[in-house]
Every structure is written in structure tokens, then in C-alpha cells.
Amino acid sequence: MFAELVRKMDAVLYRRGFALVEARRLMRNQVLLAAGGSAVACLASGFSNWGFSFAAGACIISINFWWLSKAAQELVRVRRGAMFTLLTLFYGRLVLTAAAIAMLVAWAGASAYGLLAGLSTAIANAVLWGVLQIRHKVPTVGKGKEA
């Protein structure tokens, strides 16, 4: 069942422009981690403010991750004017993210710790991806007689 979900998500991401396998894998894992973490946080906190704040943070960082992944794939193809585009996208995302977080904390009364925990799902995703990359590339240790 989980393998079928992963296959369907990969197909959707491919149709949405995630042509690179690693970009699809990172984005898929971010969506799964954000959705699963949000469900666990809401259930574990009894649908409290902290759980909803976690879900909001995970949603914000997932949108940022999506936007960054798409932009990175496009910038690989574009050479002229790429630095201006990269900086514009970076600062645009930064301003929008800051505004969303400020509105959530100031106006909606979201928990800053819950938001921070939700935002950290991207870091957890990156660490997980890095560990899996290292695990697949580490050569196996023989008995010393192979050379």
C-alpha cells in the first residue's frame, strides 16, 4: 500500500515538473514527513494550538521546499540572468515566509515552538536524505584479501 502511494506521488511530481529523480525523492519525502508529522502532532497534542502550529510550520516549509526545488531545476537550464532570478526568488520567498510566520504568531496566536518544530521538518528531510545517500555509497568492508 505504501509503495503504491510512493509510486503515485512520484508520478504526480513528475507531471508537475520534477524531472530529476533526487528532486522528486526529496519533495515526496518532505510531503510525507510534513503530513505524517502534522497528523501525529495534532493527535498527540489533542488537536491543541501546538499541533496546529506544527502543521502550519510544516505546510509553510513544504511550500518553500517545493518552490526552491522547482526554481533550482529551472536555474540549471538557464545561464544568462540566473543570479538575478535566484536572488529575487530567494528574497521573495524569505519575505513571504516571514510575513506568514508573523501573521500566524501575532494575529492567529500560533505557538512559536510549534511553528519552529514544523519548520524543522525540512531539516529532518535533508538529514534523512543525506544519511541514505551515504549509506548507499559506503563500500562494504571485505576480509582484507581482495587486493
Element housing 64 (H / E): helix 49-77
Render pLDDT for 30-39 as a digit per residue (tens, 0 to 9).
999 999 999 9
Q: Residue ranges per domain, the chain?
A: 1-130
Local confidence band at 134 (pLDDT 50, 70, 90 cut-offs):
confident
82-106 vs 112-119: helix axis angle to the nearest 10? 150
Amino acid type, 128: L
How deeply is 4 buried, as exposed, middle or buried, from its count of CB atoms within 10 A (0-12, 13-18, 19+)? exposed
Minimal CA–CA distance to 62: which of 95, 89, 97?
Answer: 97
- This prediction has a pTM of 0.80
Q: Record the cell numbers describing residue 33, joined without a space.
A: 514527513
